[in-house]
A and B are shown apart, each in its own frame.
Chain A
Amino acid sequence: MADFASCLSLGMEPAGFVQGFAVMQWSWYSGYYRTAGGFGGMGGWTVPRGQGQYAEEWRCPHGFVGAEHRTYGFNAEQAWLEKSWAEGWGLAYRRMVEEAAEAGAHGVIGIVDDMHYLTGGQTAEFRISGTAVRGARRRAAPHPVHDAPVRATTDQAAGGGVCPGVGGRHPELGADDRLLHHPLPVGRHRGSVPATGCRAGSPGSTPSPRSTRHSGAARHLAREHIRQQIGTDSLHGATFEQFEHEVGEGDMAIQCLVKGTRVRQFKDFDPLPDADPVVRLT
């Protein structure tokens, strides 16, 4: 209710509950490295290196023992999988936006998105939903998300928490920026760190530079992918989700997903008064 009331007080009204879906299939690692040299093949491991793609490899500290032994570890970004993921999410997103446009909306708020596997790890469903809103006191202005009569009305604000922060208390950032822009799923990284192979041998606790760099690289790449998308805009309220799983032969894949709200500043900050500290009596 608070979201609904805040929307109205801002001059916006709900235009419909909109959704977008996409089901994608991909094969995680099939043939990717094997065709390129293969684990344990005569040529040793072949590290995938695309243009601008992150890849690092480590040489065996024992010197030359064998072709396979020589390159005993590498981290590599799975750009092809990032692309597939972005495609799936993008399809669902575009379908939701189209639905909002049909409803004559100016924007979509309270967006909730999700991805889950349907069968094993091969098929993934992307779904995105939110509440389409439109300016209640004027005709829709040209914008990608609008230009049709209202089809349905709903008071659902999925995700919540967006409108109350906008309700006139802090107009300096520009309420429309937050209402009309959308969460961006931006970065995704897959890397491979063979945990097996020879070690230099150390009796005590030691740093693991390969794992450290692998895990750090996933986050950094995700953030940089975001940067490429937002340009001079900002991304706030970002959340990180990092998943790791073993993919066989001691390899580990790390997947990092960053999402947030893209915000565009349309005017300078007005001077803000000190906030009053309050104690909530509930």
Chain B
Amino acid sequence: MTEMQQAMAALQGTGTTPHRGRGTTSDLSIDEILLLHSMGWEPVDLVFGVSWWSIPWGVWQWQTGEIAEASTAFAGAMDEASGLLREECARTGGSGVVGVEIGIRVSSHHIDLTLSGTAVRRVGDTKPSFEFISDLSARDFVLLTRAGWWPLGLAAGASFVVAPRRSARQWAAQKGQNVELPNLTEALYLAREKAMERMQQSGLGMQAEGVVDVKLREGPLGYNARVMQFVAVGTAVHLRDGAHRSVQPSMVVSLDDRVRQFDVKKLRSGGN
């Protein structure tokens, strides 16, 4: 019986299937699952961590500089969501979470943070201990571990800064000119310094030697152009095997590139 026939029989319930208990769920692609299996890991379950923190009324309107309440709310929400994700991973029998997607929403009176990913474990490990949370894809996780590194957890930092208004004199002097707005530039820099510092501290707290795949979210908040946000999240990593192992990739040339098209009309009009 060919594999195709075996598969058909399994679908129709007339064939044999390997004994399995509970089915697994994952947001990984089939390629990623096979990649994990090739290094002795398997997906276990989809896991989530969600946290909402409230921000007091009026903090955005009546002060300038960093909004400590918002930055604290972000840190609290990140801690809580990570903790819930970790608990759920342990409950489902996973020893780590890969491909964590991070959803962040900042509104005037609350911050909500959603973490979702796939819990994984070594094949056949029935009593795994919790090891890591990572926003690296399964592909990057495999690559990282083959290079001798190991993910530890999510390192995150955020800062929200309200830029001061320009004085009426400044406004009038700058009206109609092309000039930098230093109040906004400085607010963005201040937010950046604080957020990056917090992310680094978060990594150091996990005994990490670096933070990789850092994703940044920066710029004005949608509802208030004077509020500059800077959020940095990445995976803290640790060199596990003493030394980095070089990965020697093969070079490949894709043969399915999109064919470059040209506009025939442009040839007729001399390229103009």
Contact = CB atoms under 8 A, between A and B. Distances in A.
Contacts of A248: none
Interface size band for A: 35 or more
Interface in A190-220: 202-208, 211-212, 215-216, 219-220
A212 B7 CA distance: 42
B116 A176 contact: no
Contact of A266 (B10, B22, B39): B10
Given A234-B25, A278-B251, A282-B253, A205 B8 contact: no
A192 to B, nearest CB: 15
A216 B34 contact: no
Contact of A265 (B17, B38, B50, B51): B17
B80 A278 contact: no
B16 to A, nearest CB: 8
A132 to B, nearest CB: 16
A208 B53 contact: yes
Contacts of A31: none
Given A173-B30, A205-B70, A232 B22 contact: yes
Nearest to B9: A266
A237 B29 contact: yes
Nearest to A216: B50
Main secondary structure of the interface of B (DSSP, over half): mixed
B8 A176 contact: yes
A142 interface: yes
A230 B30 CA distance: 17
Nearest to B114: A215
Contact of A211 (B5, B31, B52): B52
B53 A207 contact: yes
A114 interface: no
Contact of A180 (B11, B27, B249): B11
A237 B30 contact: yes
B256 interface: yes
Place the interface of chain B in its size category. 35 or more
Interface string B1-25: 0011111111110011110111111
A39 B225 CA distance: 37
Contact of B116 (A240, A269, A274, A280): A240
B116 A234 contact: no
Given A141-B8, A143-B11, A170-B34, A206 B25 contact: no
Interface string A237-250: 11110100000000
A273 B52 contact: no
B206 interface: no
Contacts of B56: 202-205
Interface in B64-110: 69-70, 72-73, 76-77, 80, 84, 103, 110
B23 A273 contact: no
A231 B49 CA distance: 24
A180 B12 CA distance: 11
A220 B12 contact: no
Given A267-B18, A275-B142, A282-B254, A223 B25 contact: yes
Contacts of A181: 11
Contact of B29 (A135, A232, A236, A279): A236
Nearest to A204: B69
A212 B250 contact: no
Given A173-B34, A266-B7, A206 B54 contact: yes
A79 B188 CA distance: 46
B55 interface: yes
A266 B80 contact: no
B69 A205 contact: yes
Contacts of B150: none
A158 B20 CA distance: 32
Given A135-B4, A165-B30, A215 B10 contact: no
30 contacts: A165-B30, A170-B31, A170-B34, A174-B3, A174-B7, A180-B7, A205-B56, A205-B70, A207-B54, A207-B77, A208-B54, A211-B52, A216-B50, A227-B25, A231-B23, A232-B17, A237-B27, A263-B30, A264-B17, A265-B18, A267-B6, A268-B18, A277-B143, A277-B146, A277-B249, A277-B250, A278-B250, A279-B249, A280-B253, A282-B254
Closest 6 CB pairs of A and B: A176-B7, A266-B10, A211-B52, A205-B73, A272-B38, A208-B52
Given A235-B24, A264-B10, 9 more contacts: A177-B11, A205-B76, A207-B52, A236-B43, A264-B17, A266-B10, A272-B38, A276-B250, A279-B249
